[in-house]
Chain A
Amino acid sequence: MMELLMSIVIGVLTACGVLMLLRARTFAVMLGLTMLSYAVNLFIFVSGGLTAGKGAVLGRSDIYSDPLPQALVLTAIVIGFAMTAFLVILAIRARADLGNDHVDGNSGKSQEDGA
């Protein structure tokens, strides 16, 4: 049951993330990337296997959960956070430099003109 719930959550997050990623405005794309990275983080977290009641600290329990995915997901979260922060600044910069928030840097109108 837990596995099914987790896979549905990860699947829905990934699907939403990809959908948003394909949008043409930087803000939507940014949200999409954030969602995608949440999905990825959850995926890494469960890669050690889903179990309940296992110890995380040595000496507190007879069986332990795999500590490596937790370390990996921590690294992935930190890196993802930094990258998102950078992307936000870059998107604001591009908005200021190019005069619109289209990912290609030109608004829909000028694209129709063939510019």
Chain B
Amino acid sequence: MMQHLPILPVLVPLLTAAMLLLPPFQDKLSRQRWFSGGGLVLLFCVSVLGLVQSSSGATSFYLLGNWPQPFGIVLVHDRLAAMFVLLASVLAMAAWLFSLGGEDGQGAFYHPLLHFLLMGINGAFLTGDLFNLFVFFEVLLISSYGLLMHGGGKARARAGLHYVLMNLAGSAVFLLALALLYAVLGTLNIADMALRINQLEPSQTLLVKAAAGMLLLVFGLKAAVLPLHFWLPTAYASAAPAVAAMFAVMTKIGVYCLLRVFGTLFAEPGNPLAGFGQQLLWLAGLATLLLAAIGVVAAQSMKKLVAYLVLVSVGSLISVLAIGTVPAIAAVLYYCLHSTLIAAALFLLADVIAQQRGTVADRLVSGRPLQQPVLLGSLFILAALAVVGMPPLSGFVGKIWLLQAATVSSDRIVLWSVVLVSSLLVLIALTRAGSTLFWRLNRQQAGNDSTSQPQLFAVISLLLCSPLLVIFGDAVMQFCLAAAQQLQAPLSFSTSGGVEQ
């Protein structure tokens, strides 16, 4: 059983989703809820087991169909993958819990789609094969298209069309890059590709460079880096809140792929393409950060504001990722955990606030008083403190670590000023948003539509992750450091034979 652990995060959601489509669960929402929740708990247990197994330090390869490497499809299970799989399952549980408030009944297939999305996400985190990565991308994308449209409505149709078109074009580019890499290198296994790039003839480096550029474009689109980010704010702001919370991990998939694919392909120093794209990512990340901070200030509704906050975190992650040292990558991993959980919590919180404000919903204008102002207000303050990076929450630790990652003084000047200025802008925007939502009231009475217990519980449990990331900060940081070291160490599977051509 333990040897099959790496495949379980893909299989459990797949089977749960397939079961949910069968007659015993069809059109029976309460049964779907319980079964879906059971599947999520099982997935969570599997992810925790995976994390424990990975922390022993060895990278385990799971050979599907027992084909020897590099011929068959391989799953790579190391600290990095295990960590992200656990993150996805935690988010999914929060999304599930929140949707019990009635949101899952707005469309027929919320629960199956959630599990198919998880299958795609986990698969993308675990795979060690570039074509397989494409397939899992498509699995997660098609479920995300369905989830984004969940509930229907004009705004979702509009945002959904953009999202789908952008991603379809992205998939075409991804396939072009794949075919080009296969034509030059003759393999699709990422670790094997890295070996072959090292033995590349100078005449072929240009082709690989072109393919790497296209991959950079695709992962940049997934991560929503500056010129490719226009789909994100509208899509995330118009999605159903539980869906938006789940989507908080989707931009991190782009970041993860940049780490995994580029980190493996061009890792070794003697590589002819070592450091490919780093300068570009550095600049794009910083520009994303600045522009997103301006977007946060300019946002006219709470959900838009949170969507831009997701972009802020992407900008910080990408620019520090471009530094590329082990501490920098470890800082990126820690900040990934923090920013994903807090962004998800904020999406959910924005909806809870919107529910209690009646017709003005989440727009940042004066409205009627909230029914639970003290509770929601304190949750908002906690979330805002975490996102801005004030002590004592995880944002503070994460940001300090990000800032320390820049060791060259010229980098340090640029990174510090951009990150700190954008943090200030975010602080101003959140202060203004909070005072508008909670204090600028009109003369109406508070409504009596209080938030359902599961929804509040989902928000609180996501927010609790932030202090937990600080209390267990040392363990988490050690784990991130070890994961970054493991990522940078060259993968060692025996490729003595390789593919005969």
Residue numbers of A with Cβ under 8 A of B are 21, 26, 29, 33, 36-37, 40, 43-44, 46-49, 68-69, 72, 75-76, 79-80, 82-83, 86-87, 90-91, 93-94, 97-98, 103-105
Contact = CB atoms under 8 A, between A and B. Distances in A.
B22 interface: no
Contacts of A104: 158, 162
Nearest to A42: B179
Contacts of B165: 29, 33, 87, 103
Contacts of B138: 79, 83
A47 B183 contact: yes
B482 interface: no
Contacts, number: 85
Interface string B108-143: 000000000000000000000001000100100010
Interface centre among B154, B168, B178, B183 (most CB of A within 10 A): B168
B179 A69 contact: yes
B183 A83 contact: no
Is chain B's interface secondary structure helix, strand, loop, or mixed overall? helix
B135 A79 contact: yes
Interface string B317-359: 0000000000000000000000000000000000000000000
Contacts of B183: 46-49
15 contacts: A33-B169, A40-B176, A40-B179, A44-B182, A68-B188, A72-B179, A83-B168, A86-B142, A87-B165, A94-B157, A94-B158, A94-B161, A103-B161, A105-B154, A105-B158
Given A87-B168, A90-B149, A47 B175 contact: no
Given A33-B165, A86-B164, A105 B180 contact: no
B153 interface: yes
A21 B175 CA distance: 17
A41 to B, nearest CB: 8
Contact of B157 (A29, A48, A80, A98): A98
B182 A98 contact: no
Contacts of B180: 43, 47
A56 to B, nearest CB: 18
A76 B179 CA distance: 11
Given A91-B161, A93-B157, A98-B158, A47 B182 contact: yes
A105 B235 CA distance: 14
B425 to A, nearest CB: 27
Interface in B142-182: 142, 145, 149, 152-154, 157-158, 160-162, 164-165, 168-169, 171-172, 175-176, 178-180, 182
Interface centre among B154, B164, B165, B179 (most CB of A within 10 A): B179
A21 to B, nearest CB: 6
Given A94-B161, A105-B154, A75 B135 contact: yes
Contacts of B142: 82-83, 86
Nearest 8 pairs of A and B residues by beta carbon: A105-B158, A47-B183, A47-B179, A97-B157, A44-B179, A94-B157, A40-B175, A36-B172
A44 B180 CA distance: 8
A68 B188 CA distance: 10
Contacts of B152: 97
Contacts of A93: 149, 157
Contacts of B178: 44, 72
Interface string B43-63: 000000000000000000000
A26 B178 CA distance: 28
Contacts of A103: 161-162, 165
A43 B158 CA distance: 32
A105 B153 CA distance: 12
A82 B116 CA distance: 15
A69 B182 contact: yes
A86 B188 CA distance: 28
B157 A87 contact: no
A43 B164 CA distance: 23
A21 B153 CA distance: 25
Nearest to A82: B142
Contacts of A83: 138, 142, 168, 171
B175 A44 contact: yes
A62 to B, nearest CB: 15
